[in-house]
Amino acid sequence: MFSTPISSHVGRGEFTDVYDPAEDTFLLMDALERDVNEIKKLCCTDINPLAAACSVESARSNGVNLQPIITDLVTGLLPRLQNQVDVLIFNPPYVVTPSEEVGSHGIEASWAGGERGREVMDRLFPQISALLSSQGLFYLVAVQDNNPEEIIQSLKSSSLKGTVLISRQAGREHLSVLKFWKA
């Protein structure tokens, strides 16, 4: 059991417009804690430079060194990372919203998932299999509106097996962390 990371700076001061850790964040942490022995080191990406800077501060506050790459999903990382990623963790914007909110520049971009809440994650799915190493794992946060079972079925076409690793009701949302690996 790991202690909850220090994140008191998130949502305050220069990080006012960065998404505060919430139920989805803590569910993801619970899921990753189950598989901690399979996770050795992480690099991270974010399209939002402010969120990336906040991640650096969070890592520093918790005694970890982190150097985020500012990019849209994995743009610019392929083909260099093809078949090289051992662990890919994705807590996407998953809330069902109007499509025009997806990719906006306000705080709503951190949760705005567009139609079915899947517009951002659906852009990444075709690249997952090419990124993962033969032992690679992909973790995805989703809500019931995203249709997790449909996601698991659709990634089968990319030769990925998947399961719901952990689920929890959080207010109005039913959150899940899905886990995928190469078949």
In a domain, residue 7? The reply is no
In a domain, residue 5? The reply is no
In a domain, residue 46? The reply is yes
pTM of the prediction? Answer: 0.88
CA dihedral sign, ordered 166, 59, 104, 69: negative
107-165 residue pLDDT tens: 888 999 999 999 999 999 999 999 999 999 999 999 999 999 999 999 999 999 999 99
> What distance in Å separates the CA atoms of residue 40 and residue 34, rounded to the nearest whole number?
13
- Provide the domain limits for residue 26: 13-182
In a domain, residue 1? The reply is no
In a domain, residue 6? The reply is no
CATH of the domain at 113: 3.40.50.150
In a domain, residue 77? The reply is yes
User: Which band of pLDDT confidence, cut at 50, 70 and 90, is reported for residue 38?
Assistant: low
How many separate domains does the chain show?
Answer: 1
User: Which band of pLDDT confidence, cut at 50, 70 and 90, is reported for residue 1?
Assistant: low
> What distance in Å separates the CA atoms of residue 110 and residue 133, rounded to the nearest whole number?
28
